[in-house]
Chain A
Amino acid sequence: MGKIQNQIFSSYQRDPVLYDEIFNNKGEIKDIYSRLFELYGGHTIKEYVHLNDKAKSSFFNQGITFQVYGEKESTEKIFPFDLFPRIIDPKEWEIIERGAIQRSKALNLFLWDIYHDQKIIKQGVVPLDLISSSANYLDQMIGLDPPGKIYNHISGTDIIKHNDGNYYVLEDNIRCPSGVSYVICNRTALKRALFGVFNHYKTHTVTNYAENLLDLLETVKPNGIDIPNVVVLTPGMYNSAFYEHSYLAKTMGVELVEGRDLFVENDFVYMKTTRGPERVDVIYRRVDDAFIDPLEFRADSALGVPGLFAAYKKGNVTLANAPGTGVADDKAIYTYMPDIIKYYLDEEPILNNVHTYHCSKPDELKYVLEHINELVIKPVDEAGGYGISIGNRLTKEQIEKVKAEVKAEPRKYVAQPIMSLSVHPTYIDDTESFEQRHVDLRTFTILGKDKEFVLKGGLTRVALKRGNLIVNSSQGGGSKDTWVLKE
């Protein structure tokens, strides 16, 4: 254990095996955190508890909550928020930002290709199987040119720092990545609670996300429209991300619509207003592909708009993200990301990929089955941290069960070495003290026509259970305000 001299950190247990974001391996505070460390040290833990409670009730009063569906009644929960911010050095951020843009652009070119000439497949860089056996590849999108040639307008890139001190991308989320509203709420909450600390750091703002989003969405308007009418399409107020949908609509100053507010006539989309129908040109949709149009996809969808896809196909409305984009965030595609980046951009990947074993390849399957206790096994097409098995946490029976599942359907699984997510001091309610918890980082990238934007900040997610590596909010994760410092 290193020496930590600070009142509120007096009981901080530093595990030297883990990469701590604020202490170096000698237990000394890193430069970038030292001022913050001092400032926080000026508080007693009592004051801290008080501030923490205040922050919680502020989230509650603002209605920044999500529904947890229990057996009888659903309850409202806040997404746990930690008062100790994460700081990212400007030089490190520069790499993350360039890396995120590089990935988003490469994925966009990849999507264009697989829905047009399919060169990358014909040249054998990625296997045909990746699209032909993907449930997320939409044959209906073949040959369709989305406005501005953009598919993944909004991408969320999940990045971690491994114990080698390097950043690795774990996942690209390009269907409907959520969480950006929490980035902004966390900042607001931290400002309310500990405004003084902001005087000592030059931190980039995060409140400019919505204006940039609107700006970029307007660049992908359908042909022949001067000033497009943009809307946000939500599945409704019972969706767990509804707060975010309403936040984005509000801050962009556009309507928040549900499927039933829209209708299609002669392949144009309209919304029903108090003054009659009003045409809609760009839809930032937070409804999954399968549900957007019951006449084209799932007929039982009550969330969609009958005829929407035809309107899209005719070029009369823009959907962001484009339908069929999900194929590129299949975990199987992820493993080809370095090749995809090289193929389209002729560049080396800026951010590392975690090495991935494809269970669909017989030799790799063999390796996976033999080394299962050193690996994380992931289903290719589940989101939200479900279905993940971490090899060294499994009992013998569980290992056999996972092996059997993988053997039965190898195409459905990939495996990766167990990455050691970095840890960050996090205030823990139960013990009323700071403890090490694993964190990751989700960045938000927006692509428009000849324009791009990365939110300087991001969502640092914290696995609140001790030792847990899964940070998703649905699995008991919390979050931290994330400061990207100015040079």
Chain B
Amino acid sequence: MEYIITYHCENSYKNPVSGAHWQFLVIPLEDDTQKIESINFENSLLEKGEYSINGFGFKTLRFKTSKTFSKVTFTVQLKLWKENINPFNFTPETDPTGSFDILDRLDFKTNHQTFLKSSKLTTLVNQEKFSYTFSKDLSIFQNLQNLNNFLFEHLTFETNQTAVNTTLEEVITKQKGVCQDFAHLFCAMGRENGVPTRYVSGYLHQGNGYFRDSQMHAWVESFIPTIGWIGFDPCNGILAATDYIKVAHGRDYNDCPPIKGVLFTSGENVTSYKVQVESAQQ
């Protein structure tokens, strides 16, 4: 499958900015299933961009300027090849108890501590109100699928209820949120049950002709002993398949925001994003 992805972002500032650095984490990860065929990026300040990496090794795109401005736009456009993926194409766990035993092992916990500990945005509180406990009778995969469905059913997708720094306490109280909140809750509950789970940031292809303003998507990946990392999208209640184009993962949103900026200015700013994912063949 071939996709054409456009990431566009526009920032306006109340007071003039006299210099800035930006770092974008919007370039899809390249692995056996995803390959970038071409890429093009530009910005309204005509600064040259450079590739780098973030702290977890994911590819970033950076710009800096010493110009004075009060509005700036960035556009990244790329063509990507993605392998057709059947998310169920793995050898299932033969022995659920054995899998749970592995989760309990010290070396397993140590290897995966990064995605087992709670982070700022994945800290669970008032669990008596909202929790999900795994059943030892089911496979871990089955448990995770159930968790996926549980969140899909119990949380309502609604924009403008939460922001990128909303804590889980608030999300649970409202039982509303956007894809980040679904993902954060999944991470927290997966980890709570001893399954290494990481937050994934990327693009979701929602069918051509979908031109409504869209943002980047967020889902999760959980590590199942003997199988490996499997992607779940609690926001849509499904497994991550061919339509899911991964950019990066981290402990939570804070490890993989699409844009980070360091600006020499004071006062507010308004940011708007537009993300478009089209499949090339149709």
Cα–Cα, bound, A213→B197 (Å): 43
**Interface-facing stretch out of B53-61, B87-95, B220-228:** B53-61
Contact in complex: B53, A314 (CB < 8 Å): yes
Minimum distance in angstroms from A60 CB to a CB of chain B: 37
* Interface presence of B117 (CB below 8 A): yes
Contact in complex: A118, B111 (CB < 8 Å): yes
Contact check: which of A132, A138, A313 meets B53 at CB < 8 Å? A313
Number of A-B contacts (CB under 8 A): 61
Contact in complex: B113, A132 (CB < 8 Å): yes
Inter-chain contacts of A263 with B (CB < 8 A): 64
Q: Which residue of B lies closest to A133 (CB)?
A: B117
- Using A131-B113, A132-B116 as known contacts, say yes or no to A299 and B55 having CB atoms under 8 A apart: no
Contact check: which of B64, B107, B113 meets A306 at CB < 8 Å? B64
Contact in complex: B114, A139 (CB < 8 Å): yes
- Using A265-B50, A296-B55 as known contacts, say yes or no to A307 and B111 having CB atoms under 8 A apart: no
Interface bracket on B:
20 to 34
Inter-chain contacts of B23 with A (CB < 8 A): 295, 306-307
Contact in complex: B53, A310 (CB < 8 Å): yes
Contact in complex: B50, A295 (CB < 8 Å): no
Q: SS class of chain A's interface: helix, strand, loop or mixed? A: loop
Cα–Cα, bound, A118→B21 (Å): 36
Q: Which residue of A lies closest to B264 (CB)?
A: A302
Q: Which of B174-209 contact A (CB under 8 A)?
A: none
* Interface presence of B106 (CB below 8 A): yes
Contact in complex: A122, B110 (CB < 8 Å): yes
Contact in complex: A294, B262 (CB < 8 Å): yes
Minimum distance in angstroms from A292 CB to a CB of chain B: 11
* Interface presence of B109 (CB below 8 A): yes
Q: Which residue of A lies closest to B257 (CB)?
A: A299
Q: Which of B236-273 contact A (CB under 8 A)?
A: 251, 260, 262
* Interface presence of B217 (CB below 8 A): no
* Interface presence of B214 (CB below 8 A): no
Contact in complex: B52, A310 (CB < 8 Å): yes
Contact in complex: B110, A121 (CB < 8 Å): yes
Cα–Cα, bound, A295→B62 (Å): 10
Inter-chain contacts of A313 with B (CB < 8 A): 53, 55, 57
Cα–Cα, bound, A382→B114 (Å): 24
**What is the interface of chain A, defined by CB distance below 8 A to chain B?**
118, 121-122, 124, 128, 131-133, 138-140, 142, 263, 265-267, 294-296, 299, 306-307, 309-310, 313-314
- 12 example contacts (A-B, Cβ-Cβ < 8 A) are as follows A128-B110, A132-B113, A132-B117, A138-B55, A139-B114, A140-B56, A263-B64, A266-B50, A295-B21, A296-B55, A306-B262, A307-B62
**What is the interface of chain B, defined by CB distance below 8 A to chain A?**
21, 23, 50, 52-57, 60, 62, 64, 106-107, 109-111, 113-114, 116-117, 251, 260, 262
